Amino acid sequence: MPTQDVVPRSAAPWSVDPDRAALLIHNMQNHLLRPFPRDHSPLVDLIGNIAALRRSARRLGLPVVFSAVPSAERPEQRGLAAEMETGPAADDPDVSITEELTPHRGEHLITNARHNAFLRSHLERILRTSGRDQLILCGVFAHSGVLLTAADAFMNDIQPFVVADAVADTSAEEHALALRWTAARGAVVSTTMTLIDELEA
């Protein structure tokens, strides 16, 4: 996982604000985590860092939102993605959010039709109705869902914060690519502890 000294410099000047931010835990479903060995990095670090962000968010009253891709039984929601990749059946436990991050009462769970968590979901409505215009992003995969969601947030005047060591990818190259791209094009890229320190200052 990246450390603060290797995180790319962000072009965006924003600072995270607990009164403006929400936390999005992106697609942390069992079937999407299969490429990662269960008891090794990056998965252990990924889950641990997301859990730390979530604890901080709950302490400070930030909205916590989970996104999840639909099961294979709902191809109409997935469009062309259904032709490229097969999801689990609706009754397959692999479609669930990983047990360590099971959503709690009061947290939001949205279904996103594509990698972008905003597309055909009510994520933007959750943010607008709760008076939030900053979005902290963590989860998988850095080069697709996290990157595209951060780009959509920026285009809708929602300030994205990508947590470098709380996102993961199937290769170090794609992870690094996502961090470089988002840092250069409208997101603040930070680390878990740096972001928590700023939230709780």
Q: Please give the pLDDT value at position 2.
A: 75
Give residue for tokens 């990056």. Answer: 42
Has residue 15 got a pLDDT over 70? yes
Give percent of the chain above pLDDT 90. Answer: 75
Whether 159 is covered by a domain: the verdict is: yes
The string of pLDDT tens digits covering residues 136-194 is 999 999 999 999 999 999 999 999 999 999 999 999 999 999 999 999 999 999 999 99
Q: Report the distance separating Cα 142 and Cα 166, nearest Å.
A: 9
**Position 71 confidence tier, pLDDT thresholds 50, 70, 90:** confident
**What CATH number is given to the structural domain containing 160?**
3.40.50.850
Whether 167 is covered by a domain: the verdict is: yes
Handedness of CA 149, 39, 175, 159 (dihedral sign): positive
Whether 85 is covered by a domain: the verdict is: no
Q: Which residues of 69-133 form beta strands (DSSP E)?
A: 108-111
Mean pLDDT computed over every residue of the chain: 91
Write phi, then psi, for 122 (nearest 5 degrees).
-105, 30
Q: Report the distance separating Cα 19 and Cα 100, nearest Å.
A: 27
- Give the domain range for residue 123: 4-13+23-72+94-200
